[in-house]
A and B are shown apart, each in its own frame.
Chain A
Amino acid sequence: MRAGWFVVLSMIATCSVAAEPVQFNRDVRPILSDKCFACHGPDSANRAADLRLDVREIALKPASSDIAAIVPGQPEGSLLFQRITAESDDEVMPPPHAKLGRLTATEIDVLRRWIAAGAEYQPHWAFLPVEPVALPAVPTDFPTGIAAHNEIDHIVFAGLRDRSLSPQLIAERHTLIRRLFFDLTGLPPSPAEITAFVADNDPQAYENLVDRLLKSPHYGERMAADWLDVARYADSYGFQVDRERDMWPYRDWVIHAFNQNLPWDQFVTWQLAGDLLPQPTNEQRLATAFNRLHQQEAEGGSVEEEYRVNYVNDRVVTFGTAFLGLTLECCRCHDHKFDPITQREYYQFFAFFDDIDEAGLYSFFTSSAPTPTMWLLNEQQKKQQAEAIAKCKAAEAVPFGYAQSREAAIDDWLASRPVIEGPIPGEVLHLPFEERNAEGKFPSLVGENLAATSPGENTLTAGKIGEGLLLTGDHAVTTTVGNFHRYEPFTVSLWLQTPDMKDRAVIFHRSRAWTDAASRGYELLLIDGRLQWSLIHFWPGDAVSIQSQSPLPTREWVHVTVSSDGSGRASGLRIFINGQLAETNIIRDHLQKDITGGGGDSIAIGERFRDRGFKGGLVDEFRVWNRALTDLEIAEVYAPGSLAQATTTDLTGDQQSRWQQFYLARFDETYAKLQADLLAERKALSELADSAREIMVMEELAEPKTAYILKRGEYNLRGDPVTPGTPASLLAFPANQPRNRLGLARWLTNPQHPLLARVTVNRVWQSLFGRGLVKTAEDFGSQSERPEYPELIDWLAGRFIASGWDMKDLIKTIVMSHTYQQRSLGSATVMADDPENLWLARGPRFRLPAEMIRDNALIASGLLVDKFGGPPVRTYDMPESFKPSNAGTGEQLYRRSLYTFWRRTGPAPMLEVFDVPKRQVCTARRDITNTPLHAFVLLNGPQFIEAARVLAETLSKEHAGDPAAMLSAGSIRLIGREPDASELAILQRMYDRQLAWYREHSTDAAALVKIGEKPIDPALPVIEIAAWTNVINALMNHDECVVKR
């Protein structure tokens, strides 16, 4: 057996390779990369014997054994050659434990000849700049009818000639127009278009058709379907909880961008960094949603930072796959094993993508879009919003001016030495924590039935005034008040004592939960011993928050008052410690929406769901007011009686202004009226804000976050800090560009960049031919398959860049080539020897993508609702999904498949059967399978049965009583051509048998034609229509209906 192999291999070695000199990239690198680099390559941490074979200078240096791995010109004197040919298992490379097998005779021969010829290296082809391609001459001995249309054909024809092959003739007209229609619009040509094209003798007819289709709005829809796989676009968050989310405006932008033929460098730049462009438009900001389309988690108990890091990783990996064709995730944990990218460089990419104000978990208890977001406002909403903002500004200015006009009057009042008596107004709760009532609750000194509840574990103990409450941190004191809106002023005060410097502790809050609700509400926390007071819509990106500069003293009673003035700005939040305004830092100042909702509608003290409670903390005299208390009132709360004493002396400076503030707040009715007006305007603005739809986008933080190398890729094992940067082995980062995503986009779209254009043209080729010129569309690194026609990629890439990144021009160039237009069936040898069509000795032939199969049935039957964009729709198969939901109704059932609701944990089952990815991650290439499960969908799925029946109805109306005409028309609609005589006979027999059967089974006929939402035309004969339905359905299952040939 073994001897037999050897003979075959030697034969191959002699015939196919020996004739030509060895080329490093073509012949040697694949062997070294696959069999050697894992231990003797770029990864420094796992390098064995300190030997590296990917760098010539090092490979040529003698190692400790005195023999260099490679001695140019002397294979037998090279350690590498000795080891790969060694007999014993102890000596041989790769070693048996690597389980890579021994090198084959061919591989050994290649390495021998390469070393003998001098062991010259070449950089990996994909990392070299795109250079102009010298076009080979077109062979002259091809059969008539084969002529090179453009440079693509020059390159392919020369390759075929080297293999002694010739291309196929141009495909038949009806095949060609069908191929072109699907490729450019995702839809089949109409019967009229087929007839016209087949009859059109104008030599320009084909080109005219190409131009027309590239202008069709369906072009954008077709192109978007591919890009949405790359962008991992979905209508749900993915991971465990997988809730729905609104991202479809991004999808519509993609369609629009393709239809507008937005130059590809801009298409890429907008998505990577639209927010960083000067004065970005809404479209440019919307495009950055690309970076937020990754999966997100809300599973209870998940570690927030772990998932935040995951999200940034996903952005990096997607960037690598989509634009560089590099598998960057390898470097998350270690230096790349095959490509010259280090772990440090991975985290330099990471540093570009982590500077947004995001949370690692989305909110389980609310439906808020995770920050940062942009609002999606229509023109009317924009106008309303602008007006409301203007009104608010005006309403804020009025009381200020009024206050100044009242200074003299207030001075007079003060001069009268007024006596201040009575309670501070607006108090809605006062818990003195003196005793539990009969029901075990803590009564309030104000209000009716406001007693707070608390489990017995929180115990009464000596307090600041009388008794106080000792908190466990695991049990909350729950009040019944405090559901304030962002525009409502309010104040909370309490005495508290913390036993230690808490890293984090919840003193009180109005919210359902921490990360599980994105902290919606308001909260007073201890963070590193400091008080942090926050109003929050979605933490951290939609919130306002301040923190005291000094830590709170431990083990002593401190009086704390916090207030909000209803402005929703950081300047409107205040913290008082022992009656004095505390110095604070602004932590966040970006509250956009309201702070109510999400549950937990009243204040709770000392504990929060899955947060750290105020363990061992003491609280006393917990009080709430529905207004922002003035400084003097807060001082009074801290030290009762101070207000009454204060006016007994003459006032100066600062004191005087506090008294003015106090007077206006307490005694001036006009001022009170102005405040009420202001509140009304703020309320109106807040309600407008809450009604605005949001979409996740990128928005750079003013202060970038520090990124770190994460050891072994673990989120919590931080190594050295890194700054944004690009790998040394690729193009240098432009000196004049900022080190942010915009600079990154500029680097990427620089015409000198070796990868973006190559990767892009390859994906387009894949989309038209079913297979990329580089099969691994996601990997152009040294482990990728070497393309059959590297010069074709380079020529296309060069043209693409030179055209100004013109996508329509690229597609036109490809489809104008003879290579594209040739027949898809090659000779028996070509079909057998080149099943994947690497050589391009025939045209493309592959099963249509899922969307096109369904859309074809819809348009052929006339059911397609040709409407652009909008929210996703639910198809018939939704109830059959792994995550079932109800099917939609009406036009939802008949929209193009692109608009089908996409749930990551359960995509539409019909589409899934036909190989759509789940879009959990960036996918640059779909599988194309053919399995029996496809038959079930096409034969039995209600979408296809209904479409068959509706088409049967139409045909029956158009050609009543003429079965041959019906079959002919049906075939044109479904397979794009007339049936020949044999096919007509087969179909006619099929119809006759169906008709005979349904004549005997009329109830079955009635049942069949009822399938689908669209009712049958009552004027039509049910039995005939049923019989026709099955015949038409058979055509939908025909090879030529589902395979692009």
Chain B
Amino acid sequence: MPQKFSELGSTLNRREWLNRIGGGLGGIALAELLGRETATQAAGILGGTHFAPKAKRVIYLFQSGAPSQLDLYDRKPLLVEKHGQQLPDSVRGGQRLTGMSANQSSIPLAGSPFQFAQHGQSGQWLSELLPEAAKVADELCVIRSMYTESINHGPGVTFMQSGSQIPGRPSIGAWLDYGLGSDNQNLPSFVVLITKNKGGQPLMSHLWGSGFLASQHQGVRFRPSADPILYLNNPAGVSPENRRAVLDGLRELHEHQFAGTPDAEINNRIANYEMAFAMQSSVPEVTDLAQEPQHIFDLYGSDAKDPGTFAANCLLARRLAERGVKFIQLYHQDWDHHGGLPGAITNECRQTDKPAAALIADLKQRGMLDETLVIWGGEFGRTNYCQGLMTANNFGRDHHPRCFSIWMAGGGIKPGTSYGETCEYGYNIVKDPVHIHDLHATMLHLLGIDHERLTYKFQGRRYRLTDVHGHVVDGILA
């Protein structure tokens, strides 16, 4: 029986345990009894999903820094019309501003300089910055009514990734690994890919951390280097062959030790070393994009040949998805356009539009899109007014938590739809608001999990990804 990556495993299987201790104590108590050294089972703590899942995995294309919804997805002709006029107090309604523009004495509205058009049979409105997304418009469900409470990046991204503004809670992928376990014994179930050489707001590793869950649930970051995982490769002067010889000897030592000291932990150690040896092949194999044919590189764009670019990461995400990795978290930074927005956002779209659309198309042509949930979005939105000085062809937008847009596609999502609406100023939501907790509840729902029943008891309280909130957004389900 193959062992899974994160199995620390007791030699007793789950059924034997249940027999010993009585199943009435339930899954949580089981984990407590097993202890963290031996808690995880291949199937995750839930031992399966709560109901039939629509999606088997998630690829989350996180756009860090908060892309401007008003220049990409949320068309507001009124802002173009009133460009340069002051934001009416009645629209703002006492919303707190960040320390950056709170003290500005003038807050002029800024219309988008980019043209919007409708695309596909669904007539999805998209800006001219997204010509490639336009080609897969009928696959997308654009939510224009996302909102959050954070007004700054650190707490905002943390909220989006862990359901809390303060670092210390498990991230989405950690919850999934804890709840569902892994589908591939030779790869981590939660992999993180970050676009290389990006400036902008820094990312922090707690974003894919395990919080109070055991640390084996945290995301494993694959780096765009020869060592995608810390010290994955043998050192100079050690070949796979002589490494194998050492491991064979080490296994003999451990087996000998186990004969005298029959402690299950020793068997776990043996299994871990075998797993590590397997990963030395499986990780380089999955990260080696050279195996992809030219037409695939054409699809994702020329950047895809350069490891660590967003394009290469999108392609790698597909390869990881094919191999059963459950949660693939991409980060692309530098959307924080307080000033110089028109040039900067064009640049970011040039790097991200084609690969993201290619990922949708590629998953679709492989028949994987209907079981893979793809999400594109940032941590909050941007203001409808200009931050800093507005000139004829330049302006910036400040952070805006009250509304922003994301899109979802694939696994269980209604394709070619829009959800939610903002007011004509693009400042407030007027229809179908979706909170971050609702997004999380919906993601878990698509994966077959009742978000209220994936819990972990810590410091005397049952914690969930959705805290004590969250409603599944039925309106976007296929």
Identify the A interface with B (CB < 8 A). 5, 8-9, 12, 99, 101, 104-106, 239-242, 297, 299-304, 310, 327, 330, 337-339, 472-474, 515, 610-613, 615, 716, 771, 775-776, 778-779, 781-785, 825, 828, 831-833, 835-836, 845-847, 877, 880, 882-883, 905-906, 909-910, 913, 915, 918, 920-921, 927-937, 939-942, 945, 982-983, 986-987, 989-990, 993-994, 997-998, 1001, 1003-1011, 1026, 1030-1031, 1033-1034, 1037-1040, 1043, 1045
Contact of B257 among A304, A920, A1040 (CB under 8 A): A1040
B199 at the A interface (CB under 8 A): no
Contact of A474 among B261, B389, B457 (CB under 8 A): B389
Bound-state CA distance A831–B12 (Å) is: 11
Tell me the nearest residue of chain B to A106, going by C-beta.
Answer: B24
Contact of A297 among B35, B154, B239, B262 (CB under 8 A): B154
Contact B103 A613 (CB under 8 A): yes
Contacts of B209 in A (CB 8 A): 918
Q: Which 8 A-B pairs have the closest CB atoms?
A: A783-B460, A1008-B237, A990-B249, A240-B154, A935-B276, A1007-B237, A301-B98, A301-B100
Contact B153 A782 (CB under 8 A): no
Contacts of B232 in A (CB 8 A): 936, 940
Known: A983-B256, A1010-B236, A1039-B265. A927 touches B152 (CB 8 A): no
Contact of B233 among A327, A940, A1040 (CB under 8 A): A940
Contacts of A8 in B (CB 8 A): 19, 22-24
Contacts of B293 in A (CB 8 A): none
Contact of A836 among B6, B35, B204, B229 (CB under 8 A): B35
**Smallest beta-carbon distance A398→chain B, Å:** 46
Contact A303 B250 (CB under 8 A): no
Known: A5-B23, A8-B23, A1034-B246. A1008 touches B238 (CB 8 A): yes
B99 at the A interface (CB under 8 A): yes
B121 at the A interface (CB under 8 A): no
Contact A1037 B273 (CB under 8 A): yes
Bound-state CA distance A1006–B6 (Å) is: 36
Bound-state CA distance A1038–B253 (Å) is: 8
Q: Which residues of B162-209 are within 8 A (CB) of A?
A: 166-168, 201-202, 204-206, 209
Additional A-B contact list (4), CB under 8 Å, known A931-B272, A1011-B236? A299-B154, A338-B460, A831-B263, A880-B227
Known: A835-B10, A927-B214, A997-B242. A882 touches B205 (CB 8 A): yes
Contacts of B394 in A (CB 8 A): none
Q: Which residues of B198-256 are within 8 A (CB) of A?
A: 201-202, 204-206, 209, 214-216, 220-221, 227, 229-239, 241-243, 245-246, 249-250, 252-254, 256
Contacts of B289 in A (CB 8 A): none
Contacts of B221 in A (CB 8 A): 882
Contact B249 A986 (CB under 8 A): yes
Contact of B276 among A775, A779, A936, A1039 (CB under 8 A): A936
Contact B256 A986 (CB under 8 A): yes
A-contact bits for B420-454, CB 8 A (1 contact / 0 none): 00000000000000000000000000000010110
Contacts of B349 in A (CB 8 A): none
Tell me the nearest residue of chain A to B221, going by C-beta.
Answer: A882
Contacts of B32 in A (CB 8 A): 775, 785
Contacts of B35 in A (CB 8 A): 771, 835-836
Contact A300 B99 (CB under 8 A): yes
Find the residue from B6, B24, B263, B273 having the highest chain A CB count within 10 A: B24
Contact A1039 B269 (CB under 8 A): yes
Number of interface residues of B (CB under 8 A): 92
Provide a sorted-by-A list of 30 A–B residue pairs whose CB atoms are within 8 angstroms.
Answer: A8-B19, A99-B450, A101-B26, A240-B201, A299-B152, A300-B100, A302-B99, A610-B100, A613-B105, A615-B105, A776-B459, A776-B460, A782-B460, A835-B38, A845-B263, A905-B204, A918-B205, A918-B206, A920-B168, A929-B37, A930-B37, A930-B269, A932-B5, A936-B232, A993-B242, A993-B245, A993-B249, A994-B245, A997-B242, A1034-B250
Contact A474 B105 (CB under 8 A): yes
Contacts of B229 in A (CB 8 A): 933, 936
Bound-state CA distance A915–B202 (Å) is: 23
Contact A987 B249 (CB under 8 A): yes
Find the residue from B8, B214, B276 having the highest chain A CB count within 10 A: B276
Contact B257 A1005 (CB under 8 A): no
**Smallest beta-carbon distance B213→chain A, Å:** 9
Known: A241-B202, A935-B273. A994 touches B242 (CB 8 A): yes
Bound-state CA distance A1033–B263 (Å) is: 23
B56 at the A interface (CB under 8 A): no
Q: Which residues of B258-288 are within 8 A (CB) of A?
A: 261-266, 268-269, 272-273, 275-276, 279
Bound-state CA distance A825–B250 (Å) is: 21
Identify the B interface with A (CB < 8 A). 5-6, 8, 10, 12, 19-20, 22-26, 32-38, 96, 98-100, 103-106, 151-154, 166-168, 201-202, 204-206, 209, 214-216, 220-221, 227, 229-239, 241-243, 245-246, 249-250, 252-254, 256-257, 261-266, 268-269, 272-273, 275-276, 279, 389, 398-399, 450, 452-453, 457, 459-461
Known: A776-B460, A997-B241, A1030-B246. A303 touches B276 (CB 8 A): no
Bound-state CA distance A492–B108 (Å) is: 35
**Smallest beta-carbon distance B337→chain A, Å:** 14
Contact A12 B236 (CB under 8 A): no
Contact A932 B262 (CB under 8 A): no
Bound-state CA distance A1011–B420 (Å) is: 59
Bound-state CA distance A403–B254 (Å) is: 90
**Smallest beta-carbon distance A266→chain B, Å:** 28
Contact of A1007 among B236, B253, B279 (CB under 8 A): B236
Known: A337-B461, A918-B206, A1005-B237. A928 touches B22 (CB 8 A): no
Bound-state CA distance A300–B339 (Å) is: 14
**Smallest beta-carbon distance B392→chain A, Å:** 14
**Smallest beta-carbon distance A99→chain B, Å:** 5
Contact B273 A930 (CB under 8 A): no
Bound-state CA distance A2–B370 (Å) is: 35
Contacts of B235 in A (CB 8 A): 940, 942, 945, 1008, 1011
Known: A240-B153, A931-B8. A905 touches B272 (CB 8 A): no
Contact of A1009 among B230, B237, B452 (CB under 8 A): B237
Contacts of B25 in A (CB 8 A): 104
**Smallest beta-carbon distance A776→chain B, Å:** 7
Tell me the nearest residue of chain B to A989, going by C-beta.
Answer: B249
**Smallest beta-carbon distance B170→chain A, Å:** 12
Contacts of A927 in B (CB 8 A): 36, 214-215
Contact B237 A1034 (CB under 8 A): no
Contacts of B460 in A (CB 8 A): 327, 330, 338-339, 776, 779, 781-784
Contact A983 B104 (CB under 8 A): no
Contact A994 B236 (CB under 8 A): no
